[in-house]
Amino acid sequence: MKNNHFSQNITTFHGRKPPEEGLLVGYGAIIERLRLAVPLPDRLSIISKKHRRYATDDWNVLTPRHAPSDDLAGHLTFALKYEGVELHVLKTVFEKVGKKEIEQLVQREPTGQYSRRLWFLYEWLLEDTLDLPDLSIGNYVDLLNPDLQYPGPIEIARRQRIRNNLPGVQGFCSIIRRTEKLDNFIAESTGWKLYPWLSGDQKDLLSRASAFLLLKDSKASYAIEGETPLLNRALRWSSAIGEAGLRELTKEDLLRLQEIVIENNRFVKMGWRQQGGFVGEHDRATGSPMPDHISAKWQDLEDLMNSLIAAYQRLSASEYDPVLAAAIIAFGFVNIHPFVDGNGRIHRYLIHHVLGRKGFTPKGIIFPISATILQQMNGYRTVLEGYSKPRLPLITWKETADHNVEVLNPTIDLYRYFDATKYAEFLYDCVRQTALELLPAEMDYLMKYDRFKALIDNRFSIPDKQVDLLLRFLQQGKGKLSVRSRQKEFLELTDEEVSAVEEMFQEVFFA
């Protein structure tokens, strides 16, 4: 293969328009030159002719002095230095160019930090050993640059003198880019945790608020799937969510959760899928599948789920940020879609589980994430589609006799290696809203409820159920009792007493 003509001037690239005309470099140039069948990285790079360096959501813009040598080695070095580690792209490059060329590339500068990273990644991703002797000199270098991507726990690779800080394992490793938004979330998040509320009267309020919101979260998780469950079904699932983080995550536990989610299994084949799967619609006329998302091949599920759980164990035992870890594990699970049904609700359970397991939320207290996600459905769909849409053209499939899909090409790496940055930003935003708005609003309501009830108890002898009913009618009437309720449920109250009750409500809830 000729090692030249990788760079090219672009005004648009695969439908993505850079902020100015420039020279395509790094991963983008490699993907184009080698015709790699991979999803484009979320952020690509160009060299500006205007000698300006800046970044947008989709592009890194650098100056001519940053331009790499126009060959594979130059662009790989540039990519690792300025764009970070893209595991799927790198693995596909290694498979495309072959072992000998990577050996020759490393041999040019075997002790160089970028050569060593490529060497390690080749052997780690392909589980194959290059014909190179172990290094015996040189400082150890981090595999991920923490200025570009959030590093995981460290494992020492003595052969290349590398500190492997990937946040996953060979069979499943999702990486999150460092962004200003995530840095701000992480810096602020200690103030969102629930521990300051775990004392005195607030502890009781938090417990009561959490119990109510747990059921609300359960109902919301079904609502996200377009379902309205009966109360007993919602209660069963809220009970399962309440145990999130209390036990280790295993494949057996995931199967147990599916049994809880799918109450009536007469029409659902339970357990790990043994068929294709997709999310989407069927053509009304023909019944043909119209996928928005195609699930991992069922033949790959054992490998993927074992690796997902191994990555979870690696992250849960480390100092890796809890919300970032929850994004990787929960969204990794829903991308794989290992069950015929129940994947979405278990995906959201996993958010609760990881946050609880890593101590972000106290034992027995659940962040009602699904309730917040339900309020942000457009953003939720956007991040899910951001993963699925770029991968659909890379999956070859055919329709089966029962109008399902059968995937025909190897696709396992689409589910192993992906950028979880947008997932993490969305999830952190939901956690923030839950901690600073949803939970405090419920606690504020409970404090007002207690005050209103105390005022009622001081003047009237009304059972608690009637107080609840009275409050509900007042809320529905915006502080006024309806004529119907005064003539029926609260016929015993005089006009003067009704006025007093309405004044109490106004004093407590609108003062």
Percent of the chain whose predicted confidence (pLDDT) is above 90: 61
pLDDT band, very low/low/confident/very high, at 3 (cuts 50, 70, 90): very low
Question: 10 Å Cβ neighbour count for 374?
Answer: 18
Is pLDDT above 90 for 204?
no
> Which is the CATH superfamily of the domain at 198-264+272-434?
Fido-like domain (1.10.3290.10)
Helix/strand/coil for 244: coil
Query: What is the model's pLDDT at position 244?
Result: 83
More confident residue, 195 or 308: 308
Strand partners, 282: 289
Query: What is the model's pLDDT at position 153?
Result: 97
Query: What is the model's pLDDT at position 193?
Result: 66
List pLDDT tens digits, range 323-370: 999 999 999 999 999 999 889 989 998 999 999 899 888 776 777 888
Query: Alpha-carbon distance 206 to 200, whole Å?
Result: 10
Give the residue extent of every domain in the chain: 1-97, 198-264+272-434, 460-509
Query: What is the model's pLDDT at position 199?
Result: 57
Enter the pTM of the model.
0.90
Q: Residue 143: which of 96, 103, 98, 86 has the closest Cα?
A: 86
Helix/strand/coil for 498: helix
List pLDDT tens digits, range 281-329: 999 999 999 999 999 999 999 999 999 999 999 999 999 999 999 999 9
Percent of the chain whose predicted confidence (pLDDT) is above 70: 96
Query: What is the model's pLDDT at position 133?
Result: 96
pLDDT band, very low/low/confident/very high, at 195 (cuts 50, 70, 90): low
Question: 10 Å Cβ neighbour count for 412?
Answer: 18
More confident residue, 11 or 446: 11
Is pLDDT above 70 for 264?
no
Strand partners, 61: 46, 54
Strand partners, 25: 45
List pLDDT tens digits, range 380-408: 999 999 999 999 999 999 999 999 999 99
Is pLDDT above 70 for 194?
no
Mean pLDDT throughout 257-283? 86
List pLDDT tens digits, range 409-456: 999 999 999 999 999 999 999 999 888 888 888 888 888 888 888 888
Q: Residue 491: which of 483, 501, 479, 480 has the closest Cα?
A: 483
Query: What is the model's pLDDT at position 198?
Result: 55
Weakest-pLDDT range from 105-109, 230-234, 280-284, 311-315? 230-234
pLDDT band, very low/low/confident/very high, at 155 (cuts 50, 70, 90): very high
Is pLDDT above 60 for 228?
yes
Query: What is the model's pLDDT at position 1?
Result: 43
Is pLDDT above 80 for 102?
yes
Query: What is the model's pLDDT at position 48?
Result: 94
pLDDT band, very low/low/confident/very high, at 2 (cuts 50, 70, 90): very low
Mean pLDDT, the chain, rounded, equals 90
Angle, in degrees to the nearest 10, between helices 99-108 and 87-97: 110
Using the structure block, give the residue that is written with the tokens 């938004």: 181
Q: Residue 174: which of 29, 320, 379 has the closest Cα?
A: 320
